[in-house]
């Protein structure tokens, strides 16, 4: 989906994704010492706001001005400051080595665009910093619920981890989360990859 399509989608309801952070973001990041965080594809800002509430100096980046307007309102309601940047992640270049945490949650792009974005995300991770990526897994098409229906933009643990050199991969696998549907609760399947920069920048 392009910017105009996302702008239109974000106009359809108050918050599409709710104000609560993603369950895996909470599970894997809650115990980290706050520093400087970058949320790429922040959408309506729920994860960026949650990080800011925990003391992170957070920047949220998205190309949807409508999404970022809603994110700004959410931050104001929660009483936190987040730097919001309007940019297309297919072109955005974050400051190298400047972020203790880089988060990418459910950002689905064609393979070449995704690989370029991930390489830029890797460069943004500071020494000792962490990169976390979560998104719809390709097995979700047949075994799960929700998410994009185009297999070209879906993740596998191997395809994501393979783009993150020279970071050290600490986790690369599939995770499941419950989703309420008209037919009852079903499970969605996501790829989750966590990596860190254990050596100094070149």
Q: Which residue has the higher pLDDT, 11 or 80?
A: 80
pLDDT in the model for residue 8: 60
This prediction's pTM:
0.91
Kindly compute the dihedral angle of the four CA atoms of residues 36, 160, 120, 153, in this order, to the nearest 10 degrees. Answer: -110
Helices and strands (H, E) in the chain, number of each type: 7, 7
Tell me if 152 sits within 8 A of 160, measured CB to CB: no
What domains does the chain contain, in order, with CATH numbers? 3-9+20-196 (3.40.50.150)
- What are the phi and psi torsion angles at 12 (to 5°)? -80, -20
Tell me, what's the pLDDT at 133? 98
pLDDT at residue 145 is higher than 90: yes
Residue 122 has pLDDT above 90, yes or no: yes
Report the SS3 class of residue 72.
Answer: helix
The pLDDT score that the predictor gives to residue 199 is 76
Please say if the pLDDT value at position 169 is more than 60: yes
182: confidence class by pLDDT, cuts 50, 70, 90: confident
Instruction: Say if residue 24's pLDDT is above 90.
Output: yes
Closest C-alpha among 92, 74, 80, 73 to residue 54: 80
For 180-196, what is the mean pLDDT? 92
Q: Which residue did the predictor score with more confidence, 3 or 27?
A: 27
39 close to 151: Cβ distance less than 8 angstroms? no
My answer on whether omega of the bond before 166 falls inside 30° of 0, hence cis, is: yes
- Could you please report the per-residue DSSP string of 92-147? --PPTT-EEEEEEES----HHHHHHHHHHHHHHEEEEEEEEEEEEBTTHHHHS-SS
Q: What is the pLDDT of residues 50-80, one digit of tens each?
A: 999 999 999 999 999 999 999 999 999 999 9
> 83-86 and 57-62: which strand pairing?
parallel
Q: Assess whether pLDDT exceeds 80 at residue 6.
A: no
Q: Is the pLDDT of residue 15 over 90?
A: no
Structure confidence at residue 184 (pLDDT): 86
Q: Is 130 in contact with 196 (CB distance < 8 Å)? A: yes
Residue 11 has pLDDT above 90, yes or no: no
How many other C-beta atoms lie within 10 A of the C-beta of residue 130? Answer: 22
Mean pLDDT (the chain) is: 92
């Amino acid at each position: 989906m392009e910017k105009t399509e996302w702008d239109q989608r974000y106009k359809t309801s108050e918050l599409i994704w709710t104000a609560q952070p993603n369950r895996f973001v909470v599970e894997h990041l809650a115990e980290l010492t706050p520093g400087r965080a970058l949320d790429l594809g922040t959408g309506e800002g729920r994860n960026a706001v949650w990080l800011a509430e925990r003391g992170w100096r957070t920047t949220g980046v998205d190309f949807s001005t409508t999404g970022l307007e809603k994110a700004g309102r959410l931050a104001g309601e929660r009483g936190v400051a987040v730097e919001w940047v309007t940019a297309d992640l297919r072109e955005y270049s974050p400051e190298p080595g400047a972020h203790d945490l880089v988060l990418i949650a459910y950002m689905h792009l064609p393979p070449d665009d995704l690989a370029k974005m991930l390489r830029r995300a890797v460069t943004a991770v500071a020494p000792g910093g962490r990169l976390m990526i979560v998104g719809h897994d390709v097995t979700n098409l047949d075994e799960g619920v929700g998410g994009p229906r185009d297999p070209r933009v879906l993740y596998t643990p191997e395809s994501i981890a393979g783009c993150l050199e020279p970071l050290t991969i600490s986790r690369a696998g599939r995770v499941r989360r419950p989703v309420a549907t008209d037919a009852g609760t079903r499970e969605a399947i996501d790829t989750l990859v966590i990596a860190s920069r254990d050596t100094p920048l070149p």
